[in-house]
Amino acid sequence: MAENISISISQPESMTINGYPDGFAIIPTAGHTTFFNPEPSNSHAFSTTSPEILNITNSVSSFNVGEFDISSAVNVTLGTLPYSQLAKELDGFKYKFDNFVMTSSDQALFSVGDIVYFKSQSGYNTYNTKLKKAQTSNMDGAKSGLLIFLGYSSDNTLMVMSKGYFDYEQSDNRCVNWSSGRTIYLNNLSNIDVTPSTLSNYWVKSIGTCIPNTDNKNRIWFDPDSTYLKIR
């Protein structure tokens, strides 16, 4: 006959452990899902929910269940891993280009959070590529993949992101008219805005979404579309 051990843990989860002569089963009464907290704070670090550690002690008697000796405490871990697969996947959208040489005057043009793209330029560096700020008045930005500039180090390492969460301060005029849930574009001045460019010969394409938060940040999910419209 199976021997049942009932165990209660803090809400919202409870579980029952069933012991059988030929095995050992843990039956949770609620599903366990990995949740990702979009809290980038521009350090580009991601956090996951801490795992639960359950200490199970047999207080009735000493006995073996199959190959398990549960006469003393047994530790069972539930919940998420310390670093989730989703966070790893998001990190995969951050790119580092070693030895991406830029002139000092070009380096001064960029700051963390700028919307940029790559433009082919022979002889500029070993990549034959130059970094440019996206401007809706210039069709190069419409035809290129857009990125967020993350940094440029003294050893000529360029860091950019093609997709992910990013925070702008509410005072940052590079992200204006932010509104929870709205699609974002680049406006006439090439700043992030819920209202796109409206001038003739300028281009329009969606670049992401405004994400609600309690940190008083203009948080966005950056995910540029590959299609664009040219205003006539």
Which residue bears the tokens 């925070």?
167
Provide the residue type at 148 as one letter.
I
Residue 115 pLDDT: 98
pTM exceeding 0.75: no
Query: Nearest Cα to 188, choosing from 169, 203, 175?
Result: 203
* Residue 30 predicted with pLDDT over 70: no
- Interior CA angle at 48 toward 47 and 49, to 5°? 135
* Residue 229 predicted with pLDDT over 60: yes
Low-confidence winner among 4-18, 125-139, 170-184 (lowest mean pLDDT): 4-18
Tokens of 84: 């989730």
Average pLDDT over residues 224-230: 95
| 6 or 188: which leads in pLDDT | 188
The pLDDT mean for the chain works out to 79
Nearest-angstrom CA–CA distance, 170 and 11: 37
Percentage of residues of the chain with pLDDT beyond 90: 60
Cβ atoms of 193 and 204 closer than 8 Å: no
Residue 127 pLDDT: 97
pLDDT digits (tens, 9 = 90+) for 103-153: 999 999 999 999 999 999 999 999 999 999 999 999 999 999 999 999 999
Residue 92 pLDDT: 78
- Interior CA angle at 138 toward 132 and 143, to 5°? 80
Beta bridge partners of 6: 16
Q: What share of the chain is helix, strand, coil (3-state, %, to 5)?
A: 5, 40, 55
Percentage of residues of the chain with pLDDT beyond 70: 62
Average pLDDT over residues 188-209: 96
pLDDT digits (tens, 9 = 90+) for 57-85: 555 555 555 555 555 555 555 554 455 56
Cβ atoms of 113 and 208 closer than 8 Å: no
Residue 84 pLDDT: 58
Residue 32 pLDDT: 47
* Residue 216 predicted with pLDDT over 80: yes
